[in-house]
Structure 1
Amino acid sequence: MRIGELSKRTGVAVPTIKYYLREGMLPPGERTSPNQARYDETHIHRLRLVRALIDVGGLPVAKVKEVLTTVDSPSGDIEKLLGTVQRAVFPALPTSAEVEMQAAAEQEVHALLDELGWYCRDNHPALSVLATVLVSAQTLGHSGFLDTVRRYATISEQIGVADLDYIADKRGVDGMLESVVVGTILGDTALIALRRLAQVAESAKRYPDRRRPDPA
């Protein structure tokens, strides 16, 4: 198919497709002439993946490029890709946190992991992110938030099992690599949505008299 048909089938504008081609986010098509190329179903699939990461996952283009570069690497290293994807979705750490408070919070995170029996590299970005969350909660007067985080951790164990089951269920390295991206980035968005829905449902159970009637 020509680029115009590729645009129609994916809903992605031709200039955007050309931009993705220039940036290496979309593999080049088969050249049929100096100014023409032919594209196939693999290009449709990649475009849908790119748009899902940007539109649903909320990743900036630079992060998407980083993730896709790892996906396209010949090593097929699932752990490396998982680390790349996780770094892509973590927010930048604030620079205003007190060094001593951050260090103390990181010790609390390590203690929590020991409590749970979880293995994690000392330099994993999630450790610093979680510690920063605890520091922020503490500065707001919510030092007891760590107890809630412990409850989150218990639930998250099953989420981790589900995530790795999803990856293992895919055939071939390519399928596993893409499932890391989809399961992590789109999975994060799905979990946020489910959390909001669960909050609404639990609120309705606890405060039934405050439920608003559905509009007629």
Structure 2
Amino acid sequence: MRISELSRASGVPTATIKYYLREKLLHEGVLTSATQARYDRTHVDRLRLIRALLGPGGLSVAKVRPVLEAIDHADEPSNELLGVAHCALVAPADPDRDLSRVTAILQRWGWAAAAKDRDSQAALLDALEAIDAAGFTMPPEALDGYAQAMLQVATMELAHLPTESPAEAVRYVVLGTVLNEPLILALRRLAEQHVSTERFAGPDLPDGD
């Protein structure tokens, strides 16, 4: 298909497709002349992924590029590939930052504290330090409880990880993280309301009283 046909098939404007080509996010088509090229279904699929990462995924072009590069060099979904997807979603950690507090917590849980996960570890440390700075006293068992709940969530989510291609695996991780986090927070609030009602609401009065 020509670029105009690719635009219609993907729903992406021609000017935007040309921008993705210039930025090396989208692979080149097969040249048919000095100014014309042919595109195929792989370009439609790639545009779908790019738009998902930039749109609902909320990534910048700079963040999308290393994710796509990791996909292009992967033969199948892997822990390293999924780590790239996760790292694209969090701020880069200061390479000199002391993460020993988080490392000790992860080791206590028996979780891996890999160097490639420093950004996510730093995000956890940010959260813990914000709790400390606010003077909020977290119950001693709360952090462990959150960890166990998240372990169950992660196990369930990754059980449904697409395995047919690296691109689909990364799309699932990035979009699943971005789109599911508000869902998880909403469910937490509703669960708290339910537990609060059961704990503090008085017994139902008989009809007529």
Call closer, same or farther: CA 1:170–1:92 in 2, change over 3 Å. Answer: closer
**Bigger CA drift: 28-37 or 184-193?**
184-193
Q: CA RMSD in A?
A: 2.8
Distance 1:207 1:55 in 2: 38
Q: Is the 8 A contact 2:3 2:37 kept in 1?
A: yes
Give CA deviations for 1:157-211 in whole Å, capped at 9, x if unaligned: 12332344334x523xxx1x22331222111123213124314533653469xxx
Q: What SS class does the counterpart of residue 31 from structure 2 fall into? A: strand
CA drift of 1:10 comes to: 1.7
1:139 is aligned with what amino acid?
A
User: In the TM superposition, what is the alpha-carbon distance from 1:150 to its structure 2 partner?
Assistant: 2.6
CA deviation vs aligned residue, 1:3-60 (integer Å, no higher than 9, x gap): 1121122221111100111111111111111111111111111001000001111000
Does residue 115 of structure 1 match 2:108? yes
1:131 aligned onto 2:125: yes
Structure 2 matches for 1:62-141, cutoff 5 A?
A: 62-73=62-73, 78-93=78-93, 103=98, 106-122=99-115, 124-125=117-118, 126-141=120-135
Give the 5 Å matches for 1:196-211. 196-202=185-191, 205=194, 206=196
Kindly indicate whether residue 172 of structure 2 is the aligned counterpart of residue 194 of structure 1.
Answer: no
**Residues 51-79 of structure 1: CA distance to partner in whole angstroms, max 9, x if unpaired?**
00011110001110111011111565723
Higher helix proportion? 1
Per the alignment, in what secondary structure is the counterpart of residue 4 of structure 1?
Answer: helix
Pick the aligned partner of 2:173 from 175, 181, 184. Answer: 184
Within 2, Cα distance between the matches of 1:194 and 1:11? 28
Identity %: 33
Aligned to 1:30: 30
Q: Distance in 2 between matches of 1:61 and 1:20?
A: 9
Kindly provide the amino acid, as one letter, of the partner of residue 144 in structure 1. M
Deviation at 1:128, TM superposition (A): 1.7
Aligned partner of 1:157 among 148, 151, 154: 151
Q: Deviations 1:73-131 (Å, cap 9, x if unpaired)?
A: 1565723322222221112458xxxx9xx74xx44423322232112225632222211
Whether 2:7 is the aligned partner of 1:4: answer: no
| Contact 2:74-2:81 within 8 A present in 1 as well | no
Given the two structures, how large is their TM-score scaled by the length of structure 1? 0.78
- The one-letter amino acid of 1:118's match is W
State the match for 1:214 in structure 2: none
Q: 1:31 to 1:122 in 2, by over 3 A?
A: closer
Contact 1:93 1:132 in 2 (8 A): no
Q: 1:45 to 1:202 in 2, by over 3 A?
A: same
Aligned length: 196
Q: Distance in 1 between matches of 2:58 and 2:191?
A: 27
